[in-house]
Chain A
Amino acid sequence: MSTALSRRSFLQMIAASAATGAFLVACQPASPGTVSESGGVVPTAAKTDLRIVSGQDITEIEVRKQIGQMYELVNPNVNIEIDVISGARSDSQLTMIAGGNPPDILYLNDFFQYAFAHKGLLLELDGYIERDSFDFTPYLPEAVEANRYKGKMIAMPFEVSVAGVVYNKNLFDEAGVPYPTADVTDTSWNWDSMVEVAKALTDESKNQYGFSMDSWMIPNWLLCYDQRYISNNKEITEETHAVINAEPTAKVLQYWLDLRNVHKVSPTAAMSQEISGFDRFMSGKVAMYTYGRWLNTFRTIQDFEWDVAPMPAPKDGHFASQMYILNYGIYANSQKADLAWDVLKFLTTKEPQTANVLTGMAIAVLEEVNRSPEFLNNAPPANNKVYADTLPYAALWDNNESGFMVYANQVLGQLYSGERTDIDAVLQEASDGIDRALDEWRADNL
């Protein structure tokens, strides 16, 4: 028996597949509607879909859905769709836009939203703000100001975070060391005293260290001296240039290297290569670790109790923290800008703000929420007050739309990895790299 497929049967096969496909398509409902008791289709009011972006964390997605449902409850004609993006938020959303599938409301962080604004991807909100006489008084001023670019409001603040020192209470108890203060104005908690506490908590024989910090937290320490990497840190102009090569930067880097090399209270660079400070803290091998209130993974810890203390300040500087922000902006070509604005306003109101902080992975931009029991008593950590009290001292980091941090980190990475210790030379090279990145960006954009 011949098994060869004849031309006729092949074409019949294709025709049959096409007919099946057409039948299945025809079986789909033609338009939204409900079937009445008599069997007829009763048209219902069509809902308007509005797409809003969320990060990929499961808790974050859930709370966005919850907030979306809150909005739908009072706006039954609206359907909020959550678009989940990867951790590379800028790239993901640019790809969505470039691919012709943009969301209506974009998810923005300070380190890329100015680039979005520069490309004209964000709708300027000043017209809406003026029309509705939107009052920003109840909101964190720094978070509001973060959304002003070249004098225009490009987005609305949604949540912020600041850095703190999370600590393992069990390790403190075992070493008989008192917990660090929860008072951000307590100057006895400083860089020197933190080293002493970290020494008491370090036990190299157990592979246990007093303190660990990832290199990307360095800005938190530089801000104690109001030190930055670039001048005109919010808008890049012809005059913007590297300022990284300065005494305070050298001081911060030296302090950080000394924690490893002199005081030996932090894991060495080689040890940190594959096991991050985060992993060490989670596994109970680091007593103190710097982190923000943007991830609720700490809440999954079962093996020990933990809390949060303020970042220590240097004696010759001041208490400070970087402010990390998450804003929502309207895509410039959205056909549903009016509705999107209504949603943005809703996101800044008390109920969504409260729902968001209850996850344990955000700080509200509405100041009253950060003083509410829902925020303060939402343990762990018990000391949520530390985050609220840090807010007035927090500042945004530099505008990185030129991508200069890549150039800086290529060189600074050699210090972090322990390969180099010549801080002054490294800073000069980093400074040159940053200026090169800025020049390159200016050539394309100014």
Chain B
Amino acid sequence: MKEIGVNGLDANQPHASRHKKTQFSRRRLQANLEGYLFAAPWLIGFFVFVFVPFFSSFWYSLNQWDMVTPMRFVGAQNYIRLFQNDIFWKSTQVTLAYAAMSLPATLALAMLLALLVNRQNPLTLFFRGVFFIPAVASGVAIAVLWRWLFNPEFGLINYALSLIGIEGPMWLASERWALPAMAIMALWGVGATMLIYLAGLQSVPQHLYEAADLDGANKIQSLWHVTLPMMSPTIFYTIVLGVIGALQVFTQAYVMTRGGPNFATYFYVYNLYEEAFVKFRMGYASALAWVLFIAILVLTLVQFRLAGRWVYYEAGD
């Protein structure tokens, strides 16, 4: 029986096919030279600034190193000390609490806004722009702006609360309220997620709504049985990115609170920054980075595993 090799080539004619393949590859390489040259800056950048630091950081995590004196190999000691450190656990707890507070609220609000602006009239176009504007503003500028909004004495938030007879809290100066304040602030940046949901909503086939309508479904039932299942891949995508983003919060803590008060906003990545660039404990900080990387990887894999139970791909089996 004639044996068919890879790519459908005749495996019984190895020399001819290999020669042909080599010639083909060389010609193909030459033909694509410009393409490779154009891609080279990015590839070199990726190699130098992502690939090399990524694997170097693992080596650093096994050493004690302050960047200015020689490295000292310490094996897994950085990892052991990390898990024995109170600040590590505190920052982990703060980060998870923030993710638990901000993520569901952000996704729900983004969906609500997307549903509201998913109409074709000038007013909704205007609001799409308005809701999206914060998403293009600088993170530091937003943080500074919110510091003023949260000011207990003359901030707009406490002023608004005072109009309805509520004495607002100390917000960023309060150990209890600083983290919720940052979660509230995160809501302001829902524009980007709203836009993704809007694109998802507009790709839901109209005939499904018509079919639901014919079956007597009301708006809520259509939302529940048509919109959300059809949007599930989009929702899944935003959840995966949202979890990763929430675990990497840094700017707010750096600009607004420096991790305080009393470590209430001492996020994981802020802790990593302090260790790496304030205390110059590069080995320990690299260990922190690797633990975060593994945590994110595991969480993402779990999400993908669970996705099969609720994410519906129209084109899938």
Contacts and interface: CB of A to CB of B under 8 A. Distances in A.
Contacts of A269: 173
Contacts of A406: 274, 278
B261 interface: yes
Contact of A274 (B33, B64, B151): B151
Interface stretch (A48-56, A90-98, A160-168, A196-204): A90-98
Contact of B34 (A10, A268, A419, A436): A10
Interface string B170-210: 10111100000000000000000000000000000000000
A444 B81 CA distance: 11
B141 interface: no
B36 to A, nearest CB: 11
B68 A91 contact: no
Interface string A273-298: 11000000000000000000000000
Interface in B148-176: 148, 151-154, 170, 172-175
Contacts of A1: none
A120 B259 CA distance: 31
Contact of A418 (B37, B170, B274): B170
A403 B284 CA distance: 15
A429 B260 CA distance: 14
A410 B271 CA distance: 13
A414 interface: yes
A197 to B, nearest CB: 25
B280 interface: yes
A108 to B, nearest CB: 15
B68 A436 contact: no
A91 B278 contact: yes
Given A119-B66, A413-B262, A94 B173 contact: no
Interface string A400-413: 00010010011101
Nearest to B64: A444
A119 B173 contact: no
Interface string B261-282: 1110010000000100111110
A436 B85 CA distance: 10
Contact of A5 (B30, B34, B277, B279): B34
Greatest chain A CB density within 10 A among B81, B173, B262, B266 is at: B262
A410 B170 CA distance: 16
A419 B174 contact: yes
Contact of A413 (B33, B260, B274, B279): B260
Nearest to A432: B86
B170 A94 contact: no
A128 B67 CA distance: 28
A444 B275 CA distance: 13
B121 interface: no
Contacts of B173: 269-270, 273, 413-414, 417-419
Interface of B is mostly: loop
Interface in B222-269: 259-263, 266
A271 interface: yes
A420 B32 CA distance: 67
B120 interface: no
B261 A414 contact: yes
Nearest to A271: B153
Nearest to B158: A270
A7 B37 CA distance: 11
A27 B175 CA distance: 63
A269 B172 CA distance: 12
A443 interface: yes
Contacts of B151: 270, 273-274
B258 to A, nearest CB: 8
Greatest chain B CB density within 10 A among A5, A409, A419 is at: A419
B69 interface: yes
B125 to A, nearest CB: 36
B153 A410 contact: no
A19 B175 CA distance: 63
Interface string A1-43: 0000101001000100000000000000000000000000000
Contacts of A121: 68
Contacts of B259: 410
A119 B68 contact: yes
Contacts of B152: 270, 273
A418 B172 CA distance: 12
Contact of B170 (A98, A411, A417, A429): A417
Interface in B40-68: 64, 66-68
B175 A419 contact: yes
Contacts of A91: 277-278
B274 A7 contact: no
Given A274-B147, A410-B259, A419-B261, A268 B68 contact: no
Contacts of B147: 273-274
A411 B81 CA distance: 23
A270 B173 CA distance: 8
Interface in B134-151: 147-148, 151
Contacts of A10: 34, 37
Nearest to B31: A7
B68 A94 contact: yes
A273 B85 CA distance: 31
Contacts of A273: 147, 151-153, 172-173
Nearest to B173: A417
A269 B263 CA distance: 19
Contacts of B68: 94, 97-98, 119, 121
Contacts of B279: 403
B14 to A, nearest CB: 32
Interface of A: 5, 7, 10, 14, 91, 94, 97-98, 119-121, 268-271, 273-274, 403, 406, 409-411, 413-414, 417-419, 429, 436, 440, 443-444
Interface of B: 30-31, 33-34, 37, 64, 66-69, 81, 85-86, 147-148, 151-154, 170, 172-175, 259-263, 266, 274, 277-281
9 contacts: A94-B68, A98-B67, A98-B68, A271-B153, A273-B152, A411-B262, A414-B173, A414-B175, A414-B262
Given A273-B147, A410-B260, A417-B261, 10 more contacts: A91-B277, A94-B280, A270-B151, A270-B153, A410-B259, A417-B170, A417-B173, A419-B173, A419-B175, A444-B64
8 closest A-B pairs (Cβ-Cβ)? A417-B173, A270-B153, A98-B67, A270-B152, A414-B261, A413-B260, A97-B68, A413-B261
